[in-house]
Chains A and B, each alone.
Chain A
Amino acid sequence: MTDLLAAIGYDRWILNVLLGLPLAGMALVLLSPAERARWITLVVALVEFVLSLGLWWAFDPADGGLQFRVDVAWLPQLGIRYSVGIDGISLFMVLLSTAMMPLLVFGSWRAIDQKRRGFYSLLLALKTGMLGVFVALDLFLFYCFWELLLIPMYFMIGTYGSEGRLYAATKFFVYTFAGSLLMLVAIAAMVWTVGQGSGTYSFSYEHLLAHRDLLAPAAPWLFTAFALAFAVKVPLFPFHTWLPDAHVQAPTAGSVDLAVILLKMGTYGFLRFGIPLFPGFALSPPVAGVLVALSVTGILYAALVAMVQPDLKKLVAYSSVSHLGFVVFGIWAATVESVQGAIIIMIAHGMATGALFFLIGMLYERRHTRLIADFGGLAQVAPLLATCFAITAFASIGVPGLSGFVGEFLVLLGSFGRFPVATVLATLVVIFAAAYLLWAMQRVFFNRLANEANRSVPDLEPRELAVMVPLIVAMLWIGLYPKPILERTEAASARYVELVAPYLPGAPAPVAARPAGAP
């Protein structure tokens, strides 16, 4: 397999194709009749997924650096390049988003019955934006993709969402736009500072990383600007209030995309840019203390709030806030285990929460309500639906043998040494997660079948099974045999730790002017 891929020059064109294909598909969707939109999107999604599978084999697990590099001049006068590549951290984000794509099309197959061309072209535009964020290695390019995502998501929530969609769309846009604008100023200042010091004005991530010592004097505000943009996206308590609104009002596909990919952009941003570029400030005890305190607060608070939600979608939305707090926590602990754990939580959360949103969407299509109180006893009439929900809920709770457990365990293991109190507090959340999800499941699927309307709820049809089965298989696979993923994330995690380790409190004072391994 590896030889075949090498023979066709896979590593040179794959990222360009992955970025370009959805855009081409979008043009095709816009030019074709509306009834063909979903078919075109499905074909594009499948081709994209199959092509991206090659990354799994072509990726060199032993190399912690960036692979599949493409680097061409875009605006040479300004030092801006089209520069992309992936490492063990972004590999899984890319695979996750290409793998989700066909499922999203299937999931929306029936739900979207008007303005189809618009919907599917937005879905495709979103895909390019998301992939772009994870592969961009030029900060200007990164910022462009980061912002470009907002527009399709804004239109998706605002046009295809439910009753409160206009408010939710505006809130989503304003929060994330305002959050990331300061990052733009920080990027400008960074490039200029490094340019003054090194003589080269460049937006290249590697260039900035190699000269990050020059950034140290301005690190407090630069990091704050980046952190604000990322914290809104994560979302970190107290910047999370846009998320429940956006999640609840978005159409199913939008919710899934938000949960699976968009929320990971924030944590990915910390992992790739936020901490490695400003390690001295980001890891200093006060800053780390604040961030860890915020993430632990978020973990506990969101879990408690989730418990009392009457709306299923809102419940899952708050559970996202809670889970993502773990990721932040693991990133700041900065041990190989905790970082690998954080990456696996990102994957596992994407699958479990994505699956939950799909299931809620299916429930909504059947009953046109998401209120827990309207359901009850559904397991009797729709056993397959109930089974899928149960497995997914267990995966989300973190039951051993399913995907959620591996990541949380690794994070707790890796961070206990650094933040013992916070770790103990965070462990509590597993109890809360069990409480809110199991309680919700009981009220929806078990209890008495009191409401007559629930008697006629049909079970899952083959199309819906085609969405759920791959997700459940993946959850089991990660839970039982995470080794292939651990292998591929280990080198990149180790490199991250190596980049930031000298700046951890208690580490010997950093002597090297250049971080090891930087060009």
Chain B
Amino acid sequence: MTRLVDPAGLGGAVVALLPELFLAAWTLLVLGVVAWRHRTEEDSYLVGRLSLAGVVLAGLAYAALWLQGVRTTPDSAMVVLDDFRIAGAAIILLVAGPTILLSLRFLDRQRLLAPEYYVLVLLATLGMLAMVAAADLMVLFLGLELMSVAVYVLAGYDRFRRSSAEAALKYFLIGAFASGFLLYGIALVFGATGTTNLRLVAERLGPGPLSPMAGLGLGLLLVGFGFKVSAVPFHMWAPDVYDGAPTPVTGFMAAGVKAAGFAALARVLLEAFPAAAAAWQPVVGLLAVATIVGGNVVALAQHSLKRMLAYSSIAHAGYLLAALWAGSSVGLTALLLYLGAYCLTTVAAFGILLSIERVGSRTVLIEDLEGLFLVRPWAALSMSVCLISLLGFPGTYGFIGKWSIIAAVAAEGQVLLAVAVVLGSAISAGYYLPVIMGMTMKPTRTPQSHRQVAFSRAAKVIVAGAVIANLLFGVWPAPLVDAARDSAAAVIGAVGGGVAGR
């Protein structure tokens, strides 16, 4: 049973934005608490737990909307409430919650006690939710900026390390640059069509070729999003930023920011420019190939585990771009499935990584993990499952994601792109395997430091849950496939069957 609400009216807007309103109010409340309690470790834990409650609250609000079947009317103005938004929000909240939980002990251990951290995570989450909810380029930009500014600060949160400050500055400068591109793109699209509403843009552009102004606007939008999702050649900031930021923040960026960026990009391309596929498909395809090749090849040369994961996350952006290239409902389904798999795995991998890191030490090198299996078998096994899933091996959820991308691309008759995807995973075996090999097959060189590896209870629960879910969905992904299909249909179905008429 579906109930339609129109967000143009006040009542409709409140219903359609219920989770975001809850979260915003809660964030302000938490900010108030911070102003009053920000001195001791207990304060930090308290604020962390309160923030988690905020994420849970937003999640409950989404669950309620979903269960009640509340949807916005098809021609809604600023925000839209459809299955796609709910799926995107679910992924984002499932990244934000574990990020907060994993940060609790981590911040304490790294002596980074400042409860504002959690407020920033909440603000970034709010921005991401606005991005997936946007039916209008302005709302999208608003969400994007809210997310970005909060994450700039988070990246520099480790004030004892230079690399963290460097990461923040780099991210800020490049991010501001990217925002400039996006805003200029929006302005040009507005100039060409007289509107910033995604569906109206599509309507006014009509089926013919793009006018030069609209084309330029689309190009600038793609550049801006290219920066945000770290597609080659706009990826230069990503490794340094991912490497320098505190580890939970890196996980949050690699999973959450990327998910929000792709969800928004998918909406822009498929809702505002479905008829201009001939213009953007070649660009997205080339970006995909460059990103897959660039990310994977450079990841081969990394010694630091965190940096290796950073480059591998660039490569994964390439696979996601390939899914987006397809532009069909199958492609969008694949995008969502892959995002789910990628985020689930990334959260678990970073949960393990941050439990291995120690106070004040240099970053964890891949060779530091040698022999981990002998001392901490479960940690080594969980990490192996994560890496095998990122590799896209049968039996893991990662394979289902990779498979659906290949199927989607092949269904458009574009075999070369599918081949690029599989060649990318063949290359990625070259850097995922040595980690597994080091952990399980090589002798321990540093048993003492392995023994110090300490998983907090939250980390244990999150990692174990994510790994089990990964294997479970690898064998039985049917419910997720159904959900992803419905969500994709919400975007594609509404604009008349996607770019290829399917």
The chain A residues found within 8 Å of chain B, CB to CB, are 75-78, 140, 143-144, 147-148, 151, 155, 158-159, 165-166, 169-170, 173-174, 177-178, 181-182, 184-185, 188-189, 191-192, 221
Is there an interface contact between A75 and B393, defined as CB atoms closer than 8 Å? no
**CB-based contact A181/B433 at 8 Å:** no
Question: In the complex, are the beta carbons of A177 and B394 less than 8 A apart?
Answer: no
User: Apart from A151-B388, A181-B425, what are 11 other A-B pairs with CB-CB below 8 Å?
Assistant: A76-B478, A77-B481, A144-B399, A155-B441, A159-B440, A170-B434, A170-B437, A174-B426, A181-B422, A181-B426, A188-B403
Let me know if B433 and A173 touch, CB within 8 A: yes
B362 to chain A, nearest CB (A): 25
Question: What is the CB-to-nearest-CB distance from A82 to chain B, in angstroms, rounded to a whole number?
Answer: 11
The 7 closest A-B pairs by CB, nearest first: A181-B422, A144-B394, A188-B410, A178-B426, A158-B441, A189-B410, A188-B407
CB-based contact B422/A148 at 8 Å: no
A173, B429: Cβ atoms closer than 8 Å: yes
Q: List 9 A-B contacts (CB under 8 A).
A: A77-B478, A169-B441, A173-B429, A174-B429, A177-B429, A184-B406, A185-B406, A191-B407, A221-B415
Q: Closest A-chain residue to B405, C-beta based?
A: A188
Are A169's CB and B437's CB within 8 A?
yes
Interface string of B377-393 (1 = CB under 8 A from A): 00000000000100001
Contact B406 A188 (CB under 8 A): yes
Contact between B411 and A159 (Cβ–Cβ < 8 Å)? no
B residues near A159, Cβ cutoff 8 Å:
440-441
Bound Cα distance from A191 to B330, whole angstroms: 14
Residues in A with CB closer than 8 Å to B482 are 77
Chain B interface SS verdict (over half): helix
Q: Is the CB of B429 within 8 A of A166?
A: no
Question: Is the pair A182, B394 in contact by a Cβ cutoff of 8 Å?
Answer: no
Contacts of A221 in B (CB 8 A): 415
Total A-B Cβ pairs within 8 A: 78
B-chain residues with CB within 8 Å of residue A173 when the two chains form the complex: 429, 433
Residues of A within 8 A of B410 (CB): 185, 188-189, 192
Cβ of B442 under 8 Å from chain A: yes
Q: Is B419 an interface residue (CB 8 A)?
A: yes
- Cβ contact of A182, chosen from B422, B437, B441, B477, cutoff 8 A: B422
Tell yes or no: B395 within 8 A of A by CB: yes
Q: Is the CB of A188 within 8 A of B481?
A: no
**Any chain A CB within 8 A of the CB of B418?**
yes
* B461 CB-CB contact with A under 8 Å: no
B394, B426, B437: the one within 8 Å of A148 (CB)? B394
Residues of chain B lying within 8 A (CB to CB) of residue A76: 478
- Bound Cα distance from A260 to B434, whole angstroms: 28
Residues on A with beta carbons closer than 8 Å to the beta carbon of B440: 155, 158-159
Tell me the smallest distance from the CB of A324 to a CB of chain B, in Å.
24
- Among B394, B425, B437, residue most surrounded by chain A Cβ atoms (within 10 Å): B394
A8 to B418, CA, bound (A): 47
Contact across chains for A184 and B411 when beta carbons are under 8 A apart = no
Q: Is B298 an interface residue (CB 8 A)?
A: no
A185: nearest residue on chain B (CB-CB)? B418
Point out the residues of chain A lying under 8 angstroms from B437, CB to CB. 158, 166, 169-170
Closest to B407 in A: A188
Asked if residues B441 and A177 are in contact (CB atoms below 8 Å), the reply is: no
Q: How far is the CA of A78 from the CA of B482 in the complex (A)?
A: 10
Q: Select from chain A the residue with minimum beta-carbon distance to B388.
A: A151
State A158–B436 Cα separation when bound (angstroms): 11
Q: Give Cα distance in the complex from A184 to B409, angstroms.
A: 12
Q: Is the C-beta of B301 less than 8 angstroms from some C-beta in chain A? A: no
Contact A184 B441 (CB under 8 A): no
B433 touches A184 (CB 8 A): no
> Which chain B positions have C-beta within 8 A of A166?
437, 441-442
A188 to B442 Cα, complex, angstroms: 37
Look across to chain A and name the residue whose beta carbon is closest to the beta carbon of B418: A185
- Could you say which residues of chain B place their CB within 8 Å of the CB of A165? 441
Q: Which residues of B contact A147 (CB under 8 A)?
A: 393-394
